[in-house]
Amino acid sequence: MRSLLFVPADSTRKQMRAMESQADALILDLEDSVAVSAKEAGRQAATEFLLEWRKASRTKKIFVRVNALDTGLADADLDAVMPLRPDAIMLPKATGGHDVQHLGVKLAVREAENDLPDGSTQILPIATETAGALFAMGSYARASRRTCGLTWGAEDLSADLGAETNRDAAGAYTSPYMLARSLTLFAAAHAGVDAIDTVFGSFRDSAGLRAECEAARRDGFTAKMAIHPDQIAIINEVFTPSPEAIAKARMIVEAFERNPDLGVAAVDGEMYDRPHLLRARRVLARIPEAP
């Protein structure tokens, strides 16, 4: 999974365009995209969209971002969407692994009520939207088997901090947000799940988006969220391993498979050790599945 596209739950026009995009996953948003006064209408629109989605046997994954657990709205969100079998629930304002466990219990109940396989609904937490959440990043490891990745957010965090902005004059994140980004990367690696980079808000700035994607891939992120369908092509391109990278990764993996007891293997005149093998396997895991 390389690209995840946010789609307002209550906008049929944007949903139709999102369905035509090449995003690997859609995030049907019941939180920030839907006004407080329109939450019930948003849930109804979300269920209608999910129903049509399932009828059409779409191959994209479908996530639903529910409202935060402390809002009192999440249960109604889950009651509305769980009968339609979303692939995952995105958990905003997550404060640590205990929130994932809490949501997991809610999902287990609704899976049982709707004759869904136990544990079939995954969870994607947004792990950095409050200042306090940064002190619990290590708690996602082993919190739940449902956790399919970790992602981060800068907008809500900047509001929580009372910051004037989260980017400098050159457009780069300032140090508090680079810390949040780094902690997400470390926490995802510690938990053994994918690190998914946050959105790039200037959707008309293709060069800026590409640069941010390339930096994220370089550092270890495997995917990026998007707010506009026009961002998907660049995200998919950057996070798809090149043919050269795939070929090299396969050679490294095959060299170790031929000699499983070796600590170091020679490939094309270069020596590779176990960390190289781990990176090679991660490259192969990022090869997109054929539609």
Kindly state the average pLDDT of the residues 52-79. Answer: 90
Residue carrying the six token digits 């609704």: 110
pLDDT at 269 (0 to 100): 79
pLDDT tens digits for 224-279? 999 999 999 999 999 998 888 888 888 888 888 887 877 888 888 788 887 788 88
Average pLDDT over residues 101-111: 98
* Amino acid 256: pLDDT: 85
Give residue 290's pLDDT: 57
Choosing among 3.20.20.60, 1.10.357.10, 3.40.50.720, 3.30.2350.10, the CATH entry for 3-239 is 3.20.20.60
Question: For the residues 104-115, what does the mean pLDDT come to?
Answer: 98
* Cβ neighbour number for residue 84 with a 10 Å cutoff: 18
Residue 7 in 3-state DSSP?
strand
**Is 125 exposed, middle or buried, given 0-12, 13-18 or 19+ CB atoms closer than 10 A?**
buried
Average pLDDT of the residues in 16-23: 88
Contact 194, 175 (CB under 8 A): no
Confidence of residue 291 (pLDDT cuts 50, 70, 90): low
DSSP 3-state of 192 = coil
Instruction: Between 25 and 279, name the one with better pLDDT.
Output: 25
Query: What percentage of the chain carries pLDDT values higher than 70?
Result: 98
Q: Which residue has the higher pLDDT, 286 or 191?
A: 191
Query: Which residues pair with residue 90 across a beta bridge?
Result: 65, 124
What confidence score (pLDDT) does residue 222 get? 94
In this structure, the strands spanning 270-273 and 264-267 are antiparallel
Q: Residue 165, class by beta-carbon neighbours within 10 Å (0-12 exposed, 13-18 middle, 19+ buried)?
A: exposed
pLDDT band at residue 280 under the 50/70/90 scheme? confident
Using alpha carbons, select from 29, 38, 124, 44 the residue that is nearest to residue 84. 44
Beta bridge partners of 124: 90
Q: Give the integer Cα–Cα distance in Å for 210 and 20.
A: 22
Tell me how long the chain is: 291
Q: What is the pLDDT of residues 154-169, one digit of tens each?
A: 999 999 999 999 999 9
Give residue 96's pLDDT.
97
The strand pairing partners of 6, in sequence order, are: 27
User: Contact 187/138 with Cβ under 8 angstroms?
Assistant: yes
pLDDT number for residue 58: 67
pLDDT for res 24 = 93
Cβ-contact 220, 192 below 8 angstroms = no
Average pLDDT, the chain: 92
Instruction: Name the percent of the chain lying above pLDDT 90.
Output: 73
Instruction: Dump the DSSP string for 120-163.
Output: -SEEEEB--SSTGGGGGGGGGTTT-TTB-EEE--SHHHHHHHT-
pLDDT at 272: 83
DSSP-derived pairing of the beta strands 223-226 and 194-197: parallel
Query: Tell me: the pLDDT tens digits for 167-197?
Result: 999 999 999 999 999 999 999 999 999 999 9
Q: Which ranges in the chain are annotated with CATH 3.20.20.60?
A: 3-239
- The pLDDT, as a whole number, for residue 139 is 98
- Helix ranges (H only) for 23-132 are 39-55, 74-81, 97-113
> For residue 205, with 0-12 CB atoms within 10 Å meaning exposed, 13-18 middle and 19 or more buried, which class applies?
middle
